[in-house]
Amino acid sequence: MAQTIAFLGAGSMAEAMISGMVQSKQVTPNQIIVSNRSNTNRLNELKYKYGIQAKKREQLDFEKIDLFILAMKPKDIDSVLESLKPHLNPQQTIISVLAGISTSYMEDHLPEKQQVIRVMPNTSSMIGESATAIAPGAYAPKDRITFTKTLMESFGEAYVIDEDQMDIFTGIAGSGPAYFYNLMEHIEQAGLEAGLDSEIARSIGAQTILGAAKMIQERDESPTELRENVTSPNGTTAAGLKALDKHRGGEAITAAIKGAATRSKEMAKQMEKPPLATH
């Protein structure tokens, strides 16, 4: 992949993607440039940790960059698009990881017909295990979409979806790791309260989640069949599931996914609003 990739934003999501890309060896570290608004300590940290290039915004050589990956907070999108706009040429692609920012919003704030692709990775990119969505904008050519998919696959699984599915994808996969970390917090606490060592409680919980996820991926059985296989009549699992049901565990997960997806939609709506008039 002989392309130069510049990250604008050097936070946790940028680092997770950089880590996954570098480990995959599909991208060499010197193809990656990381940049942010002002925190040079953070840039140096990433530079030395991953062997990539780190540059202040004013040091970026825009012409030599093929792909810009926007990885700042959604609230900073306007200032970033404004600062990018005068430097872009039609061959350059803007990839955005920002939740709730549509491709059409970005296209409207960039030079006419700029190539824009929206993606939604998650922090498991860090170890090559992301589930990443890709939604191309109106002017993204096929070869760039294919390239972006290959790039996203360097740190996990990647799926090309319609942009109107991005909110639910964000609810399931973008925010999803947090639900499992929250689940782990509860598992660990239950283990601790019953006298397990905290390290062992954490390890047991993680291995159990990992094993269940791999069973779903590797076996030709549905989650329902797999659940039934664990559940002996009147046994321990039946008692556990009854308690889960009583406390509306399943509904809680559905609500979490829907809550995140709704927030993603709301964020997009807020961006569509005209700015408040100032007098």
Ligand X SMILES: NC(=O)C1=CN([C@@H]2O[C@H](COP(=O)(O)OP(=O)(O)OC[C@H]3O[C@@H](n4cnc5c(N)ncnc54)[C@H](O)[C@@H]3O)[C@@H](O)[C@H]2O)C=CC1
Please report whether residue 37 would count as binding ligand X according to CB under 6 A: yes
Please report whether residue 99 would count as binding ligand X according to CB under 6 A: yes
- Residues 207 and 34: their CA atoms lie apart, in Å, by 34
- Residues 128 and 17: their CA atoms lie apart, in Å, by 9
Please report whether residue 122 would count as binding ligand X according to CB under 6 A: yes
Please report whether residue 130 would count as binding ligand X according to CB under 6 A: no
Q: Which residue is nearest to ligand X (CB)?
A: 11
> CB of 220: closest distance to ligand X in angstroms?
31
162-191 footprint of ligand X as x/- string (CB under 6 A): ------------x-----------------
Through-space distance between the first and last CA atoms of the chain, rounded to whole angstroms: 51
Q: DSSP 3-state assignment of 88?
A: coil
Question: Which of ligand X, ligand A1CAB, none interacts with 80 (beta carbon under 5 to 8 A by kind)?
Answer: ligand X
Please report whether residue 75 would count as binding ligand X according to CB under 6 A: no
Distances in Å between the Cα of 254 and the Cα atoms of 120, 144, 172, 215 are: 20, 34, 9, 22
Please report whether residue 39 would count as binding ligand X according to CB under 6 A: yes
DSSP E strand stretches across the chain? 5-8, 32-35, 53-54, 67-70, 93-96, 115-120, 130-136, 156-160
Q: DSSP 3-state assignment of 27?
A: coil
> CB of 109: closest distance to ligand A1CAB in angstroms?
20
Angle between helices 223-230 and 198-218 (to 10 degrees): 130
User: Do 264 and 165 meet the contact criterion of CB atoms below 8 Å apart?
Assistant: no
Count of positions on this chain that bind ligand X (CB under 6 A): 25
Q: Toward ligand X, which CB reaches closer, 185 or 197?
A: 185
Q: Which stretch binds ligand X (CB under 6 A): 21-29, 33-41, 147-155, 194-202?
A: 33-41
Residues that bind ligand X (CB under 6 A): 8-14, 36-37, 39, 71-74, 76, 79-80, 97-99, 120-123, 174
